[in-house]
Amino acid sequence: MRYGSLWERLVRGVRWSWIDPRYQSALPPDLDASVMTLDSRDRLHAKQGRSTARVVFHPAAATADRASGTAQCAGLPAGPVAVYLKRHFRLPWLAWLAALFDPAGRHSPAAAEWVHLERARALGVPVPEVVATGERIGPWACLQSYLMVAELTGCQELNIALPELADELEPAAFESLKRRLIAEMARITAALHTARVFHKDLYLCHFYLDLERLRDDPADVRLTLIDLHRLAEHRLWPDRWRWKDLGQLLYSTAGIAGIERRDICRFWKDYRRRVSLRSPRWQARMVQLKAAAYMEHNRGRT
């Protein structure tokens, strides 16, 4: 990656980008130059100088055969590649100033989330594949960034998948599935917390279940954790952030068909087994109070 000199960043502006070589052939050759102007209305959410949208790239006919062969060798889908593209068009001047003097510091939200995703992956947490990311630093007080992650094909968020599975499966099969799901959720959460890394947005809807694998093999439970833009390490007073994560997760289970109190107790038991906790009863009480605070806050907004 080339960040240019301070003068170049300030007066001319520079761009840097990283693209996963496995996806290179499916993306436009001028992606770095055109990514901030790509137009997609598919699941578009835009506000306050940022946007998220689904984009599908179709490999050019001349490279389609090569892309297909590369994808098969790498275990990737051949043909069109669907991604979710996060873009930040206007960022605070403090972030721009930091990027100006420390261009490798990943000061923009997209570049920071890329670092978070790879940090979580290194801890054994399944997260979406990063397809591409980059920044535009300058000219002058301009900082833009983008992050492109592969779509989780065949997957669905747990808050939607669980009620549907409760209707589809026999009671015994559904209970067995929940036990496997709970064990995997506890493993993922504990992997972060043991390293004193916290998600800070740990709602049920951010766990995605691979339904295609599940239908092929009911014992194959694959979860992926998304939206790691707030991920952070806290070595001092980690309990505060533990309560936040677990309180959010507990709050997000309220009213979800198929989730019972014993499921919550089972999660807590599995989590405790993996994480060394001081005063676990007091910790559980603090998590409950945090969940109640989220409930009260949400009630006040409706």
- The question of whether 20 is a catalytic residue gets the answer no
Nearest alpha-carbon partner for 273 in 204, 205, 182, 211: 182
Rounded Cα gap, residues 17 and 85, in angstroms = 14
How far is the CA of 292 from the CAs of 204, 248, 258, 288, 296, in angstroms?
Answer: 16, 10, 21, 6, 6
User: ∠ CA 83-88-94 to the nearest 5 degrees?
Assistant: 145
Q: Is the preceding omega at residue 139 within 30 degrees of 0, hence cis?
A: yes
Token code pair at residue 106 = 């990943």
Rounded Cα gap, residues 77 and 81, in angstroms = 7
Residue of 30, 102, 201, 245 with catalytic role:
201
Active site residues: 201
